[in-house]
Amino acid sequence: MEHRLIENFLVKTKTAFINNDVSALKNISNEVLKHAVIKTDKHLAEVAVLGYALMKLSSKNHIIKSSSWESAKNKIALHIDKTRLSLSDSNKLSFEKEVIRLHESVMAVDSQLGYYVMNTVAKARLKLASSAYALGLSLGSASDLTGADKKELMAYIGATTIHDEEHVEMTIAKRMKKFNNLLGA
């Protein structure tokens, strides 16, 4: 487990969350996910899921304008701190328990204030699994890393264009220029 890296991302996530910086939460979540994919680290993936779920909650006007939002936000921030502090114990089990409590506090807010059938944490797992798949993990590995349901992930990826995308390293114009340079033309 990457203690310092996780702690750093938890601090960044909490700061962005407290400041209602939805864009930063999304960027942090994506950055953490890339580290999680490279290191195949489920703990990092959980931090990415957290960031994405908080981004979704923070982007919903009906949630942030609710009279109970500030209280819920403070409770979540407190759980982020407890999760971060659990890292100092060097006890993986303690950290995992705190992550579960943190996710539960996010889901409680979502349940109380949200309008949607799928909870925000499950949606975050699915979205980030899809992103992990787009980064090159197999469908099964992406599902395992993020905790997303494999069948839901297959359906989600099938409904997107991820599997159809081709990453173009070099445009035809750049290829022709390189070719002409090689020929000395």
- The 3-class secondary structure across the chain, one letter per residue, is CCHHHHHHHHHHHHHHHHCCCHHHHHHHHHHHHHHHHHHCCHHHHHHHHHHHHHHHHHCCHHHHCCCCHHHHHHHHHHHHHHHHHHHHHCCHHHHHHHHHHHHHHHHHHHHHHCCCCCCHHHHHHHHHHHHHHHCCCCHHHHHHHHCCCHHHHHHHHHHCCHHHCCCCCCCHHHHHHHHHHHHCC
Residue 166: both structure tokens together: 């081709």
Distance, CA of 143 to chain centre? 13
Structural domain boundaries enclosing 135:
3-183
Amino acid at 90: S
Q: pLDDT tens digit string along 12-41?
A: 999 999 999 999 999 999 999 999 999 999
Average pLDDT over residues 73-88: 90
- Min mean pLDDT across 65-74, 75-84, 91-100 is at 91-100
How many domains does one find in the chain? Answer: 1
CA distance 115 to 110: 8
Q: pLDDT tens digit string along 48-72?
A: 999 999 999 899 888 888 888 899 9
| pLDDT above 60: residue 118 | yes
- pTM here is 0.81
Note the pLDDT of residue 158.
Answer: 86
| pLDDT above 80: residue 77 | yes
Note the pLDDT of residue 117.
Answer: 55
Note the pLDDT of residue 164.
Answer: 46
| Crossing angle of helices 92-113 and 69-86, rounded to 10° | 170
Distance, CA of 15 to chain centre? 16
Note the pLDDT of residue 21.
Answer: 94
